[in-house]
Structure 1
Amino acid sequence: MVSLVSEIPAAPSEQAEAHFARRLSLETDCWDVHDSSKSGTPDFVLLDVRGPAAYARGHVPGALNLPHGKITERRMAEWPEGTLFVVYCAGPHCNGADRAALRLARIGRSVKLMIGGVTGWIDEGFALESDG
């Protein structure tokens, strides 16, 4: 009897390698962002792309608030070409980070999405900071 897991055969290892390498070129996770940030020398700019009220209630430490609708070529000129941006929103139920990543890519900026967003950050046991 074949299980639901193996009913569809696994991809050849070469295809799996390409798939997962591609995903990692587009995404990072909360643990890696936390680990990089606590080193004191993160090599990326972390953007919370939710609205200002949500950001003020609680955000990832060190994140800058830049709602996805305000990402423009002019605004992003504040950072040198080649800057890597990591974007996040509320969590898996929110597509704001995808919208931000798309805007950044369309203006030629390097971007990764922090999978899980605020929900993932909290699930990992990391604290948020707030403005109030």
Structure 2
Amino acid sequence: MIVIYHNPDSIESNKCIEILETSKHNHQVIKYYDKALDKEKLIKIINLLKISPLELIRTEEKLWIEKFKHLIIAGIEFSNDELIDIMISHPQLIERPIIINGERAVIGKPPKKIFDIL
């Protein structure tokens, strides 16, 4: 079963849903704004993606720029654990969509990246 962490307001996320539906793959849609990710789940996703927590953060998001970017510019470094806590507290900062198929995962930007794990 393919799992997609989805934000209905995201164009890329909606295109990935469309790909899954037209390719007739069984999938589960999780609207992560409605059902918050816990720390254990988020760590597992980061490990499946084989990226650092910072790479999963939407650093161009207004919230990141207003609340966190100035701290980095000032030389304050966040630990991976702190970055994960920030994403849990502010799920809008999580890059999307995230598509997981077994032990493989991708961020669906661009949406055709989904084919890498189908």
- Provide the TM-score with structure 2 as the length reference: 0.26
Q: Which has the larger radius of gyration?
A: 1
Ranked by relative contact order (alpha carbons within 8 Å, sequence separation 6 or more), the top structure is 2
Q: Which structure shows the bigger proportion of residues in helix conformation? A: 2
- Provide the TM-score with structure 1 as the length reference: 0.24
